[in-house]
């Protein structure tokens, strides 16, 4: 018996060693082939071959066959990596946008160099350090404005037809991961914390916000953590945020991958701030990765009610690996599993359809798990909210106003003649202001197409192909006339939506991002529903 076991083990070890040898041979063979292909290309191709560009394309194509999160970054992109991981970069602190062949400032960040230099939303950037921005992309101009902290950059801008220059000293820009916290609810007795990113110190700032809210209102009845639109970030920050409301030593997430030595279990390590206060977490389709660790683990531990829409479904963990010549590679090394044991990865990148697209985990392969209190939850498709709030979609009018920057332009004009604005908690779009905006749109002759108009156009084309166009043309014209008449009432039909858009753009001009967030809370359906749940 023992002899048989020894023989079997020897065979298995032999097969394993042979498999490893075969794999090693395949790797060496294909690397040699790749090297030979590039060598012949460099020697024989009709034009000169840029080695950096060509190899980068090859690397990107190889990594694209894995998943969207495995990426290579050359030294020239290190500032972008820094922004992704740490939420900081060397620059002037302003968002920019492209409009035709020109670049405009869309939002200067409060208290940062561009803001301190007096630059405003709507300013057209004419040149950067003497180099014209005409025809350049936002990536080109952004790259030119970024640089080492402490260095100067000369921006020439145009405002109201007049050009002027500003010398702006770059600074290490650290984007706030908690842009706003305050109170919501009919009596303002529920705390609200907005978390944008899981960058360095995110947990520290969320904890500070929670402590300050409780200190200001000791009778606070609950707290809402808003993770909508938050694409994730550092896993350790997610664990420490969960720790604010659960005891020390609680398992939050476990990672499992190919390299066993890198597998780990992450437990809370600090004393919690409050293990009793009711907690609600807001998520949507853009809440991913670390956002799903927080919302999913608090759901698994029955410590919070999750409100909103199903999350993105990113259950993959990446590590940053140093590469030669100051480059780096971000590699997916494992999957994470939250306390119930489920992995919420929604897309299986190891399997592709006939078009080469990764497929979603089918319903038939989803597995049921249990929360600490015995509620059923499922893996394989993100975090399903406990309380679903239907997403709100923009109307055709709203899309047109955003795409054509009509509200942006109106806000720029409004700010020139109105030096102040009521506080975010008090400001509302009045009838007179809305009427003024409608007049502005009329002067600009806003045009847009609806889905109905698109279908009428298609119907006319199909009718022409089938020789029915003459017979139905009169009816089509009547439909178009009726539709055009209805469209004239869109500004009243969609007034509530347009008012919210206009309100947000005006508030960000006077009170920056925190003003926009605070101003939206009053009519935020997900926030209102979360308050209802916390009050039960």
**Residue length of the chain:** 536
Q: Which residues of 308-328 are buried (b: 16+ CB within 10 A; e: fewer)?
A: bbbbbbbbbbbeeeeeeeebb
65 flagged as catalytic:
no
Bridge-partner residues for 206, per DSSP? Answer: none
Q: What are the start-end ranges of the E strands in 32-161?
A: 71-73, 88-91, 94-99, 102-108, 124-128, 131-132, 152-159
Cα–Cα distance measured from residue 72 to residue 232, given in angstroms and rounded to the nearest whole number: 19
Catalytic residue among 67, 196, 300, 379: 300
CB atoms within 10 A of CB 76: 12
User: What DSSP string runs through 413-463?
Assistant: HHHHH------TTT----HHHHHHHHHHHHHHT-----HHHHHHHHHHHHH
Catalytic residue among 123, 127, 287, 314: 314
Q: What is the CA radius of gyration of the chain?
A: 28
80 flagged as catalytic:
no
DSSP three-state, residue 166: strand
In sequence order, the 6+-apart residues with CB closer than 8 A to the CB of 211 are 273
300 flagged as catalytic:
yes
Catalytic residue among 289, 295, 311, 327: 289
| Pairing of the two strands 124-128 and 102-108 | antiparallel
C-alpha distances in Å from residue 440, one per residue of 286, 327, 427, 443: 34, 50, 21, 5
Whether the CB-CB separation of 253 and 266 falls below 8 Å is answered with: yes
Rounded to a whole number of angstroms, the distance between the first and last alpha carbons of the chain is 66
Closest CA to 169 of 184, 194, 147, 200: 147
H helices of 91-167, in order, are: 113-116, 138-145
Q: Which residues are known catalytic residues?
A: 289, 300, 314
């Amino acid at each position: 018996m023992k002899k048989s076991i020894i023989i079997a083990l020897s065979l298995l070890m032999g097969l394993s060693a042979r498999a490893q040898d075969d794999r090693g041979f395949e790797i060496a063979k294909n690397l040699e082939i790749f090297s030979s292909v590039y060598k012949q290309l460099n020697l024989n191709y009709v034009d000169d071959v840029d080695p950096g560009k060509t190899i980068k394309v090859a690397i990107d194509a190889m990594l694209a066959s894995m998943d969207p999160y495995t990426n290579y970054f050359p030294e020239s992109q290190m500032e972008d990596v820094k922004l992704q991981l740490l939420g900081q970069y060397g620059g002037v602190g302003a968002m920019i946008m492209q409009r035709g062949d020109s670049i405009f400032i869309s939002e200067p960040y409060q208290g940062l160099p561009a803001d301190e230099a007096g630059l405003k939303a709507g300013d057209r950037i004419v040149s950067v350090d003497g180099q014209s921005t005409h025809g350049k992309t936002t990536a080109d101009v952004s790259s030119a404005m970024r640089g080492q902290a402490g260095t100067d950059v000369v921006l020439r801008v145009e405002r109201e037809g007049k050009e002027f220059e500003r010398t702006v000293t770059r600074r290490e820009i650290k984007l706030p991961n908690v842009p706003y916290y305050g109170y919501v609810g009919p009596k303002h007795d529920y705390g609200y914390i907005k978390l944008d990113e899981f960058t360095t110190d995110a947990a520290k700032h969320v904890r500070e916000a929670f402590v300050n809210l409780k200190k200001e209102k000791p009778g606070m009845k609950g707290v809402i953590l808003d993770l909508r639109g938050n694409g994730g970030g550092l896993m350790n920050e997610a664990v420490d945020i969960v720790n604010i409301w659960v005891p020390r030593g609680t398992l939050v997430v476990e990672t499992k991958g190919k390299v066993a030595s890198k597998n780990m279990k992450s437990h809370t390590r600090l004393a919690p701030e409050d293990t009793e206060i009711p907690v609600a977490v807001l998520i949507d389709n853009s809440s991913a990765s670390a956002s799903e660790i927080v919302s999913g683990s608090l759901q698994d531990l029955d410590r919070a009610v999750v409100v909103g829409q199903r999350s993105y479904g990113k259950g993959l963990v990446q590590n940053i690996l140093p590469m030669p010549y100051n480059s780096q590679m971000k590699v997916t090394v494992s999957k994470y599993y939250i306390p119930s044991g489920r992995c919420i990865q929604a897309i299986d990148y190891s399997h592709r359809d006939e078009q080469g697209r990764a497929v979603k985990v089918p319903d038939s392969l989803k597995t049921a798990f249990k929360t600490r209190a015995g509620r059923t939850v499922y893996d394989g498709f993100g975090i399903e909210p406990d309380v679903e709030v239907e997403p709100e979609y923009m109307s055709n009018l709203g899309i047109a106003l955003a795409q054509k920057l009509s509200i942006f332009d109106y806000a720029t004009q409004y700010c020139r003649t109105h030096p102040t604005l009521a506080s975010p908690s008090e400001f509302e779009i009045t009838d007179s202001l809305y009427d003024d905006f409608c007049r502005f749109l009329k002067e600009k002759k806003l045009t847009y197409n609806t889905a109905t108009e698109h279908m009428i156009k298609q119907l006319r084309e199909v009718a022409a192909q089938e020789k029915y166009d003459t017979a139905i043309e009169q009816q089509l014209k009547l439909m178009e006339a009726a539709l055009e008449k209805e469209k004239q009432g869109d500004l009243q039909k969609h007034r509530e939506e347009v008012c919210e858009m206009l309100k947000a753009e005006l508030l960000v001009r006077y009170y920056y991002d925190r003003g926009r967030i605070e101003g939206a809370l009053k009519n935020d359906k997900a926030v209102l529903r979360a308050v209802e749940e916390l009050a039960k």
